[in-house]
Structure 1
Amino acid sequence: MNQNSQPNRQDFNQYMVPVFAPAQFIPVRGEGSRLWDQQGKEYIDFAGGIAVNALGHAHPVAVKALVEQGQKLWHIGNGYTNEPVLTLAKQLVESTFADKVFFCNSGAEANEAALKLARKVGLLSGSARKNKIIAFKNAFHGRTLFTVSAGGQPKYSQDFAPLPEGIQHLPFNDLDAARAAIDADTCAVIVEPIQGEGGVITADPEFLKGLRELCDQHGAVLIFDEVQTGVGRTGALYAYMNTEVTPDILTTAKALGGGFPIGAMITTDKYANMYAVGDHGTTYGGNPLASAVANAVFGFINTPEVLNGVRTRAQIFAEGLKRLNERFGLFEEVRGQGLLIGCVLKAEYAGKAKDIVTLAGEEGLLALVAGPNVVRFTPSLIIPEADIEAGLQRFERALARFVGA
């Protein structure tokens, strides 16, 4: 590629390690819930960077925080603390069950920190055998070797054996299986309140309550992976707040920085204090630049106006998708919470979710899959209602082409 020429999609194939298969168009500019590609074509964004762009693109609140902090202090390493990270930690603690926060750069890193802490909890229990981790089938917890092993989707882990041991996968929402598996050797249970990548499947309230009771009974740590469900996505600040269950550890990332990479593990003093200086770490985690942006984004979202607005927008999506399904009859159900929405294809269209998403892109709509059978929407939490309606019209055109194909 000539350094002076415009990069193109073919450059991806030439220069990038082939672990992604991106769309053929390249977005170059975004504003709110709209994007434009290199040719100037406009798209409405129902993908939200996979539940990351909680305030859409180039939101003034996030941009202002980025520019102001960028002119002051970006990075100093973890031999020092900084003002933005302390402010952000205080916001998280005061808004949740937690007493302490560990900052990192991604959801996978947050889950890595949580799982390592759980193993330390087991070690400090006095039982050398207390190291078993219970996870669930179809879960997704990240791509590091530890988190991909905890995830319950073999397609992501099977090529990288031998995998970390001591992780047992159970059927999601099966409390009887959990009762049979969780015992004195269990150090942790890790669960998503809503399985995002696994198909937008909500955990039954009784299932989560049962896990809480089993963890208390056997001295195990209950970890909620809220990487996708956190920071307003479900209409609550965190999805655990929609249940009557409080975890011991919660992981958060994606929307936390509104597009700037940042993750966090939050927990109570009881467990936080089991980590000692040097037990875990990160070079970039909690740097001033990421923390300043996350402060602005988190503070903006953590208001009744925005959180109530998520529920209002979810209702508009629900009604619009119901109308589309009455016309096309493609979806078995539309499920999820708030603006984490999964359109589940009927059996006769199994495996075709990606085809629909590709057609949506051609019609000027960004959407996602959640496995081969589910079309997923995770738009901005403040997407204008007019953009929802316009996006659903584009989705309708894509579905019409799909049915006609």
Structure 2
Amino acid sequence: MENISKEAIVKRGEAVLMNTYKRDEKLLVSGKQAWVTADDGKDYLDFVSGIATNVLGHADEGLVEAITQQAKQLIHTSNLYWTLPGIELAEALVEVSGLAKVFFANSGTEANEGAIKLARKWGLEAKGESAVEIITMQQSFHGRTIASLTATGQKEMHHGFGPVVPGFNYVPFNDAQALKHALTSNTCAILLEVIQGEGGINLMSDAFIETVNQIQKEANVLILIDEIQTGMGRTGSMFAFQQTSLQPDIITLAKGLGGGVPIGAVLATEATARHFGLSAHGSTFGGNPLATAAGLYIVKAIKERDLLANVQQQSRYLVEKLTSLQQSFPVIKEIRGKGLLIGIELDVPVTEVIRLAYEQGLLVTSSKHNVLRILPPLTVTKREMDYFLTIFKSVLEKLSEKARQF
């Protein structure tokens, strides 16, 4: 960084990187726990966490050590050979999920692609060659590769990428009657998020859960749960479905699973997984020793540090304080979410809130429907929560004052 201006670095990036992200001129150079440091030396409280990925924050010493030691031994071999870290992580995930088998990928979208393939393979072999249709929810988000993008129930995201993959039907989230009406003999699976993260932090209702359970028992379809954003302790349990009566046939993981190291996973019941036989699916990098060593450390850290209890405690504190703020600032329309996946629906532009927060040393991001999305690391402290609340209140005061001037 010495003798190189931020402007020069940004220009270099603009010259060679595709223009798919709005980064402005934010340049981060280092991080520690819940904090990151920019090129000018200014520290920021990071309540984005790599979009729900850095569950232990930045530069966690144990995670760094696990990655370092594994890199000294084996980084990659391909899945033509057994390696111990992959087996140990699969064992750990089976233990904490109650599912039976694991397939490792490199990302959330790849995990969902694998789940879609497995569901269609099951449908063909268990119900017949036409049973390949999957029902997904409107406002859902399942990734950006072509099948997972098609599964995403946001038509505006499909624009420009057609033809999309056939065989997907969409119903309104939490509409039990619409879900029942969408079922046909060709339905092989229902793909769900317990909490729609990108769609606006929308929680699945108890009535809808009851309907899904009934369909699973009576209609001979698989239940696929996308836990990519909600998994690995984010909602206060290891997986969000564990706070419901849902019993998924398949779940997908990524984001927090590697603590920042790219890894995804498909977990399935024994009866479902057996439909993936030899050569049915594959991944060159999926489950390599480096990524799985990181994942294994994450699972152990969540349990050994009792981070689920911290998530629950900090969540209660945050929601209580936000609810109190809402009394003074009616621009807060609704507070929703679970654990450390909290959405604040606002009556002021969320982009302006994000900008003003950044100016005061806070990183936050958004979701659909003008929702501010709060995603601190699972290790967040009360002091850091108070720092967030102080800045958020200051931002709301500035916006309120600005509104009074017009």
Q: Shared fold (TM-score greater than 0.5)?
A: yes
Q: Is the 8 A contact 1:61 1:297 kept in 2?
A: no
Name the amino acid aligned to 1:308.
A
CA distance in 2, matches of 1:134, 1:303: 38
CA distance in 1, matches of 2:225, 2:313: 26
C-alpha deviation, 1:401, in angstroms: 2.3
Q: Which moved more, 1:11-20 or 1:62-71?
A: 11-20
Cα 1:69–1:176 shift into 2, 3 Å: same
- Which residue in the other structure is 1:384 paired with? 381
Q: Is the 8 A contact 1:138 1:153 kept in 2?
A: yes
C-alpha deviation, 1:381, in angstroms: 0.6
C-alpha deviation, 1:5, in angstroms: 7.1
**Structure 1, residues 205-238: CA drift from partner, whole Å, max 9, x if none?**
2212311221332211100000000010110110
3-state DSSP of counterpart to 1:101: strand
- Which residue in the other structure is 1:165 paired with? 166
1:215-294 matched pairs, under 5 angstroms? 215-294=216-295
Instruction: Tell me, yes or no, if structure 1 residue 366 matches structure 2 residue 367.
Output: no
Cα 1:235–1:102 shift into 2, 3 Å: same
C-alpha deviation, 1:23, in angstroms: 3.9
Name the amino acid aligned to 1:365.
L
Name the amino acid aligned to 2:372.
V
C-alpha deviation, 1:257, in angstroms: 0.6
CA distance in 2, matches of 1:318, 1:199: 17
Task: Give the TM-score, by structure 1 length.
Answer: 0.96
CA distance in 2, matches of 1:271, 1:85: 21
**Structure 1, residues 158-215: CA drift from partner, whole Å, max 9, x if none?**
2101000010000000011111111321001000000000000110122123112213
Which of 352, 356, 367 pairs up with 1:355? 352
- Which residue in the other structure is 1:402 paired with? 399
Name the amino acid aligned to 1:46.
F
1:33-182 matched pairs, under 5 angstroms? 33-182=34-183
**Structure 1, residues 8-50: CA drift from partner, whole Å, max 9, x if none?**
2233322210111114221111001011000001100111111
CA distance in 2, matches of 1:363, 1:4: 25
C-alpha deviation, 1:315, in angstroms: 1.3
Name the amino acid aligned to 2:163.
P
Q: Which moved more, 1:325-334 or 1:171-180?
A: 325-334
CA distance in 1, matches of 2:65, 2:323: 39
C-alpha deviation, 1:131, in angstroms: 1.1
CA distance in 1, matches of 2:3, 2:356: 32
**Structure 1, residues 264-298: CA drift from partner, whole Å, max 9, x if none?**
00001101110111111111100000000110011
CA distance in 1, matches of 2:333, 2:305: 33
CA distance in 2, matches of 1:211, 1:11: 50
Structure 2 unmatched ranges of 5 or more: none
Cα 1:112–1:395 shift into 2, 3 Å: same
**Structure 1, residues 37-94: CA drift from partner, whole Å, max 9, x if none?**
0000110011111110101101112111011111111001111121100000000011
CA distance in 1, matches of 2:82, 2:330: 55
Pairwise CA RMSD = 1.7
Instruction: Tell me, yes or no, if structure 1 residue 301 matches structure 2 residue 302.
Output: yes
Cα 1:386–1:3 shift into 2, 3 Å: closer
Name the amino acid aligned to 2:244.
T
Name the amino acid aligned to 1:314.
S
C-alpha deviation, 1:389, in angstroms: 0.7
3-state DSSP of counterpart to 2:117: helix
Task: Give the TM-score, by structure 2 length.
Answer: 0.95
**Structure 1, residues 71-119: CA drift from partner, whole Å, max 9, x if none?**
1110011111211000000000111121100001111011000001111
**Structure 1, residues 124-144: CA drift from partner, whole Å, max 9, x if none?**
025222111100000000000
- Which residue in the other structure is 2:343 paired with? 342
C-alpha deviation, 1:359, in angstroms: 1.4
3-state DSSP of counterpart to 2:344: strand
Q: Which moved more, 1:176-185 or 1:209-218?
A: 209-218
CA distance in 2, matches of 1:358, 1:253: 28
Name the amino acid aligned to 1:394.
I
CA distance in 1, matches of 2:173, 2:220: 21
Instruction: Tell me, yes or no, if structure 1 residue 212 matches structure 2 residue 213.
Output: yes
3-state DSSP of counterpart to 1:95: helix
Cα 1:126–1:25 shift into 2, 3 Å: closer
C-alpha deviation, 1:3, in angstroms: 11
Name the amino acid aligned to 1:209.
E
Structure 1 unmatched ranges of 5 or more: none
3-state DSSP of counterpart to 2:159: helix
Q: Which moved more, 1:287-296 or 1:17-26?
A: 17-26
Q: Is the 8 A contact 1:111 1:147 kept in 2?
A: yes
